Each structure stands twice: as C-alpha cells, then as structure tokens.
C-alpha cells in the first residue's frame, strides 16, 4: 500500500488517522481520528483537526486551518492567493518570496458540500453548512446554511434533537 501514499516525514499525524490510497501530504498536521479520502492533497502549514472527514479529490492548500469535527465533501478546493500570477513584474517565475499566503479558517463542526470552492481570507463559522457546488467569497456566519455562486445565506441550522432509544 505504501507505493500509493506520499506522506512526507514532516507530517504530524494524530492517533487513529485513517488514510486512503493515492494521497499527498507534506508539512501538514492531521488530528486524531480523522479520515482522509483518496486523491487528497494537503500542503505544508495546513492543519486539519480531530474527528474530521476529508472526502476524496479534495485540495487543502497552505494557510488553511480546519478545526475539529468538520466534514469536507468530495472535490472541495481551497484557495490561498487572491491575485495569483505565474511571474513577477520583471517576467521571472514567482517563488515563495514573491507572494504572501492568505489564510482560511473552517470552524468546529462546519460542513462543506462536494464541489465547493473556498476562497482565501474567509472564516466558515461553527456548525455552518456550505451547500454543494458553492463558491465561498466571504465569511460564513456560525450556524448558517449558504449556497450558490457567490454563496449567500439561505437559512439557519436548526439544533439537532437527540433520538431517544
């Protein structure tokens, strides 16, 4: 199985992390009991909390922090640069010195639907839900459901009532 995994030595893996085949992890931190699906890349300086589920084909770039108990659907893309360019004004290929990583924060208990794009410099609030295919361009308040392009608040999350057995 190891021939299908690319986990750099500087990755910090918590206890009981479940990792699928065909993943690329480097310089990141993954919390306890988190599940990482196939074809996921998590870059350096990204953090994923405890008990998260990161579904297949998702890209988590540098500058993204995902707190505990977060669900990230299939094919979600995070962005860390509002004005990406390949070259400097002088025509040279850019290096890390030529741009600044922009941060993104996904708060505890949030859910991000499949196919969503999360731009940089945003916070997705606690227990918020981002509908599938949405493009998040600004902060999402806690306990709200946002959908669309750009994502807009549609309604509020109703507290879940425990089922008595």
Q: Which residues are catalytic?
A: 57
Structure tokens at 154: 């549609």
9 phi/psi in degrees, rounded to 5? -65, -20
Local structure of 148: helix, strand or coil: coil
Instruction: Report the C-alpha gap between 68 and 56 in whole angstroms.
Output: 18
Half-sphere exposure of 103 (CA within 13 A, CB side): 8
Q: How far is CA 70 from the centre of its chain?
A: 9
Q: With beta carbons less than 8 A apart as the criterion, state whether 12 and 29 touch.
A: yes
Q: Which residue in the block uniquely carries the two structure tokens 């986990």?
A: 7
Q: How far is CA 97 from the centre of its chain?
A: 24
Instruction: Report the C-alpha gap between 22 and 6 in whole angstroms.
Output: 7
């Amino acid at each position: 199985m190891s021939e299908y995994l690319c986990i750099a030595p500087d990755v910090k893996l918590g206890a009981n992390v479940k990792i699928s085949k065909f993943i690329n992890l480097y310089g990141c931190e993954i919390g306890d009991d988190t599940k990482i699906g196939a074809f996921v890349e998590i870059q350096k300086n990204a953090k994923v909390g405890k008990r998260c589920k990161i579904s297949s084909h998702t890209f988590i770039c540098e500058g993204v922090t995902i707190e505990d108990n977060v669900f990230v659907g299939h094919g979600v893309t995070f962005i860390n640069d509002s004005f990406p360019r390949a070259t400097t004004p002088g025509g040279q290929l850019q290096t890390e010195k030529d741009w600044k990583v922009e941060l993104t924060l996904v708060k505890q208990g949030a859910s991000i639907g499949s196919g969503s794009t999360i731009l940089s410099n945003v916070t997705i609030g606690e227990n918020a839900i981002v509908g599938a295919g949405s493009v998040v361009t600004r902060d999402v308040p806690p306990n709200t459901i946002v959908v669309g392009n750009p994502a807009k608040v549609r309604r509020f999350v109703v507290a879940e009532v425990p089922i008595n057995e």
